[in-house]
Amino acid sequence: MMNFQKSMADCQGISRRTFLQVGSLPLFGLTLSEALAAGTSKRGGKDISCILLWTDGGMSNIDTFDMKPEAPVEYRGQFRSISTNLAGVQVCEHLPRMSQIMDKLCLVKSIAHTESGDHVAATHYMLTGYPQRPDTSGQPVGSTIYPAFGSLLSRQSGWMDGMPPNVQLGHRLNYGGAGYMGSTYNPLAIVGDPNANDFRVEDVAISETMGVTRTARRQRMLSRLDAWQQQVERSKGPLLDRQQFYQQAFDLITSPKAKRAFKLDEEPAELRDRYGRNREGQSALLARRLIEAGVRFVTIATGGWDTHDNNFNRLEQKLLPTLDSAWSTLLIDLEQRGLLETTVVICAGEFGRTPRVNGAAGRDHYAPCNVVAFSGAGVRMGHTVGKTDSKCEQVVGRPDSTVDYAATIFKLLGIDGSREYRTEDGRPVLVNNGGQPIAEVLA
Amino acid sequence: MPSLVITLCRCLTLRRYYLLVLAIGYSQLEAISAEVVANIKPADEAPQIEFVRDVVPVLTKLGCNAGACHGSLQGRGGFRLSLLGFDPATDYEQIFKAARGRRVSLASPAQSLLLQKGTAAIPHGGGRRVTADSSAYEIIRTYIAQGAKPIAADEPQVVRLQVTPPDAVLKPGEQVAIQVNALYSNGSQREITPWALYDARDPQANEVSPQGVIKSLRAGKSPVSVRFSGHVASVAISSPLGDAKPSTGFIGRNYIDDLVQAEWQRLGVTPAPLADDYTFFRRVHFDLIGTLPQAEEVRAFVASTDPAKRQKLIDDLIQRPEYADYWSLKWGDLLRVHRRYVGDKGLGSFSSWLKRSIRENKSLDKLVHELLTAEGNLYANGPVAYYFVDQKPEELAETTAQLFLGVRLQCARCHHHPMEVWGQDDYYGLAAFFTRLEVRDTGERGRFGGIQSLRTADHETRTLQRPAQPRLFGSIEAVPSQGDPRKALADWMVSPSNPYFARNFANRYWAYLIGRGIVEPIDDMRATNPPSNPALLDALASDLIKHQFDLTHLVRTICNSSVYQLQAELAPDHDKDGQLFTHRVPKRLPAEALLDAINQATGFQENFTGTPPGTRAIALPDPTIESTFLATFGRPPRNNPCECARESSPDLLQALHLVNNNGLQSRIANPNGRLHSLLKQNPTERELAERLYLSTISRPPTEAELNTIHELLPESPTLVEGWEDVLWTLLNSPEFSFNH
């Protein structure tokens, strides 16, 4: 089985069609789902997972991890900096828990791009590495929308332990999907709030009224009454794809493992408290449970960071305390479970914010400076890469491009950046167009 | 065989009956058959190597200027070449002048960085591209040794490629060596076979070597493209699936059938039988009005003994109000009818103009002419919106080319189209028609500020990234600049002499109705993507022109053909992808039609926010109306004029949504819904099953299916639950969600 998958991965990548045919080859006598489950059922050294903590809107870098206490007051803002468990490193006073685990972060201050104006274009940069030109309403356009990191990992590595490879928690992100690769590699989006009492995963969790028994009965009835089934099994194309996705869907909704992964009440109340009894905190906890169950890439979209006005109050009252609890607890929890050795945790947003405070006590978009944090598998933690000038206006020295940033993520996740895929209209596109991993990030 | 004097020779290739002379410096002659006696001697003086004619093709063949290497917009390792050598002047600069001339050494050509890197004598990110004993190497070395003669202003240009043979019929395993000649502007021609680039459209169908030897790998039909110096050609390779069959029992009804049948006979395939009445009835409903037929309608049609009933049905459906709804939806995707561009009021005028045009069967030429020449108040004149969806001349050029010519011109904004003849001159020549547009505020207040009005100024109001004069596509002459230049564009666009327009729409409509284009992808017409049946495409296009661009005539002609009415094959053992049109290829229903069908089958009235109750999904004016279902099933956000923007492939989220969504279950179990209303009438098992089958998959159940239902119903705790499960099963069967 492994050899088979390997030989397929050596050519143009595992196309969906070829991929699905793995399951339908009688040679193996496996259904697609069994093949998927069998493919990498045991997490090997190469199976690196990832949690992307996305600060949607753009977190203020100068108020958090790149503070400039010596700068004039209209730059440095009103927050004080505090010492951390790393000598010489200071962070915002409203990140007390993070300040005690700075040895688990690699802070990168050298990543810059040019899209200060537009959230959507900037998001595309930071979720794919590539530039993109959105239309006037910020919708993606053009024939080449690039796949986000999670979709690439999905395509390269597929399902593990019967769990879908790519899950997105929180609101939908523009460009957070599979782009030209097609909807097969889109993340499974979970929009429900994991902090809500009645949290259930729409379309995945079986409702009480339906129940597992009736669902199984329906599945049986469908397989008995589907007049096309036998012929479709010998076919190729969308009909066969549909059949395979139905199989996956039934496997997922009836999987005790998936069901359990979503049951946050199995966790000790004290731990849930530490993550934070809010959407972001419980999403981080859910992300950990999903990774444990076999999901490869979890994106947690946290919103509210676009602080054009009232920046300081918003950061102090909600954004920073929420992030501080969720992120720090996640890193400690992963480490205690040994998962930090196989999981990369990234905290990033589309850009930083203007170093000079505006008239509305806010900060605007600013792409020349940003802070991205890496932790976990393969990361050289406990230091800072790159430096900004005294007012946080420019990177000092050579900035790293988003292509390099993407190359770094690919390196950490074992994604082959030199692989070439084809868009629907046949244009060859490299996974990563010539980026170099940022060496100092790598362990 | 006369003796040969070889002037340029390093590798000699024996190619059929002649020797192809490739490069300078003869060393050894191999593989020449016994009869051939060649008198070969190195020339005293090597002929002059030219940069454009000789060197650039070598760099292209070696891949130096590919998009992933130095042809990338950013270059590689500080060295940038134009993509695939489309801009030789810049390339010359880069190689011989830039970096203070360090890339070449005229004094010692072999020591040139260019060659040292290329041979990987010194480390090269791209590895070894060439060996020192190759002809490619020799051409570059000689060119440098001859002093790197700059590009002459009058250097002949390639005007056309000539490929012999232009098509070939090969059995799987057989191969053919093609020969490619370049014809130059000075009337000369040269064989350039070794330097052209070859790509098999389907690498599983054909294999092509870098020397142009094509091998058929499996039965079917697939082209191989040939590219050289900005010009393209393609070779159609057909591989018969069986022996030619004289008669198949297929009865042709119009010219479509004749032309398609001719191709079947050439390739030795037999078509599927004609679809039965149930299947035809359902298919033509979805294709023409995007609507699931009602059970009573199905019964009445099947019971009718009128021999012309299929033809009459097609005529009736075209008259239905849903016809205008459904085709407005298709056109709305193409034209990107969306309030983000034009506001609520603009949306109203744009979408009602569109729907009215379709309802009144406005001819295609008139419709497009109105769009292209539109001016005036956006809120009073719908087609003006075309100039609000895109405003930059470059974007208008791309959209106009893609929608009305079927040509994807986007590549040519930045570089010559790598798979076509179109270059930046063509791109900006088209964009230049849109540089005098001016949007004015009428002073009246609207949602996005003042009401907008479009007019043509007497001067340029929008500047192009690259200045250009308006030029009709494919022509080299500028259009005179009096008045509104768009008029000339629109006149040419819809004139029968435009070779693209009618073919483009004939192909689109064919694809909408048959499920697959004659050219596929349907809006990517180019020389390297030839039609699978050129005669058919030509015939449809001339028929459309002959009938004054009457789109319903086109629809009728296609739907009345026997080819349209063939049965679907789920697992064909020949013509697997359906490009020979031997059978119907089942296609997932579009999101809107599927949602409407589910609502109709369950007796549910959807209430979309901001629309009157009972509005159907196919009649929604734009995608701002929220619907998880529609988003999941691929409703396009209308931000891209590409046909590919509508996602039509199945995926996991769709499966989950149909299997386990609460909304679907509540529709099925709704006490006022279709199923529960039927149950209240105490039908027999057979009656109810028939009713459910007819109102979902538009056919009655078979005896075997009735037996299965009879067997499975008692497994449920209650009969009601059992029937709910039957309805759920029907809605989840592929026979329901696919148009077949």
> CB of A93 within 8 Å of any CB in chain B?
no
> CB of A270 within 8 Å of any CB in chain B?
no
Pairing of strands A420-422, B175-177: unpaired
**ipTM value for the complex:** 0.84
Q: pLDDT of A378-396, one tens digit each?
A: 999 999 999 999 999 999 9
Contacts of B461 by beta carbon, 8 Å cutoff, 6+ apart: B435, B436, B437, B438
Mean residue pLDDT of chain A comes to 86
Contacts of B404 by beta carbon, 8 Å cutoff, 6+ apart: B368, B372, B493, B500, B501, B504
Closest CB to B649 among A140, A238, A252: A238
DSSP per-residue codes, B285-331: HHHHH--PPPHHHHHHHHH---TTHHHHHHHHHHHSHHHHHHHHHHH
Cβ-contact B211, B13 below 8 angstroms: yes
CA distance to partner chain B, nearest, from residue A407 (Å): 15
Query: What are the tokens at A147?
Result: 């796949």
- Nearest 5°: CA angle at B658, between B654 and B662? 120
User: What is the spatial distance between Cα B156 and Cα B145, in angstroms, rounded to a whole number?
Assistant: 22
Residue in B209, B528, B572, B333 with CA at minimum distance from that of residue A239: B572
User: What is the spatial distance between Cα A99 and Cα A45, in angstroms, rounded to a whole number?
Assistant: 30
Q: What residues of chain A lie within 8 A of the CB of B653, using their CB?
A: 183, 186, 188-189, 203
Residues in chain A: 443
User: Which pLDDT value is given to residue B125?
Assistant: 84
What's the pTM?
0.84
User: Which pLDDT value is given to residue A139?
Assistant: 57
User: Which pLDDT value is given to residue A282?
Assistant: 98
User: Which pLDDT value is given to residue B443?
Assistant: 66
Comparing A56-70, A428-442, B120-134, B446-460, the range with the smallest average pLDDT is: B446-460
User: Which pLDDT value is given to residue B448?
Assistant: 52
Chain-chain contact of A140 with B639 (C-beta, under 8 angstroms): yes
- Nearest 5°: CA angle at B174, between B170 and B176? 75
Find, in chain B, the residue whose alpha carbon is nearest to that of A241: B650
Find, in chain B, the residue whose alpha carbon is nearest to that of A221: B729
Chain-chain contact of A248 with B652 (C-beta, under 8 angstroms): yes
Q: Enumerate residue ranges in chain B where pLDDT < 70.
A: 1-46, 244-248, 443-451
Arithmetic mean of pLDDT, A43-65: 89
Helix or strand or coil: residue B198?
A: strand
Pairing of strands B437-446, B376-377: unpaired
| B104 to B24, B99, B115, B116, B369: CA distances (angstroms) | 20, 10, 8, 10, 55
Q: pLDDT of B395-440, one tens digit each?
A: 999 999 999 999 988 888 878 888 788 888 899 999 999 999 998 8
Cβ-contact B137, B118 below 8 angstroms: yes
| B604 to A245, B355, B550, B597, B666: CA distances (angstroms) | 27, 26, 37, 10, 10
Q: pLDDT of A398-423, one tens digit each?
A: 999 999 999 999 999 999 998 888 87
Helices (H) and strands (E) in chain B, counts: 27, 17
Cis preceding linkage at B586, omega within 30 = no
Find, in chain B, the residue whose alpha carbon is nearest to that of A187: B653
* More confident site: A46 or B372: B372
Name the region of A288 (left: φ>0; alpha: ψ -120 to 50; beta: rest): alpha
Q: pLDDT of B8-56, one tens digit each?
A: 333 333 333 333 343 333 333 433 433 444 444 444 566 889 999 999 9
Q: What residues of chain B lie within 8 A of the CB of A183, using their CB?
A: 634, 647, 649, 651, 653
User: What is the spatial distance between Cα B536 and Cα A47, in angstroms, rounded to a whole number?
Assistant: 52
Chain-chain contact of A236 with B576 (C-beta, under 8 angstroms): yes
Closest CB to A164 among B647, B652, B716: B652
**Residue B273 backbone phi and psi in degrees, to 5:** -70, 170
Strand partners, B184: B158
> CB of A227 within 8 Å of any CB in chain B?
yes
CA distance to partner chain B, nearest, from residue A86 (Å): 38
Pairing of strands B231-239, B167-169: parallel
Helix or strand or coil: residue B435?
A: coil
Helices (H) and strands (E) in chain A, counts: 16, 16
User: Which pLDDT value is given to residue B22?
Assistant: 39
CB atoms within 10 A of CB A11: 11
Residue in B391, B431, B390 with CA at minimum distance from that of residue B409: B431
Contacts of A299 by beta carbon, 8 Å cutoff, 6+ apart: A51, A52, A54, A148, A150, A167, A168, A169, A170, A173, A176, A187
User: Which pLDDT value is given to residue B601?
Assistant: 98
CB atoms within 10 A of CB A138: 15
User: Which pLDDT value is given to residue A173?
Assistant: 84
Query: What are the tokens at B50?
Result: 């030219």
Q: What residues of chain B lie within 8 A of the CB of A245, using their CB?
A: 650-652, 654-655
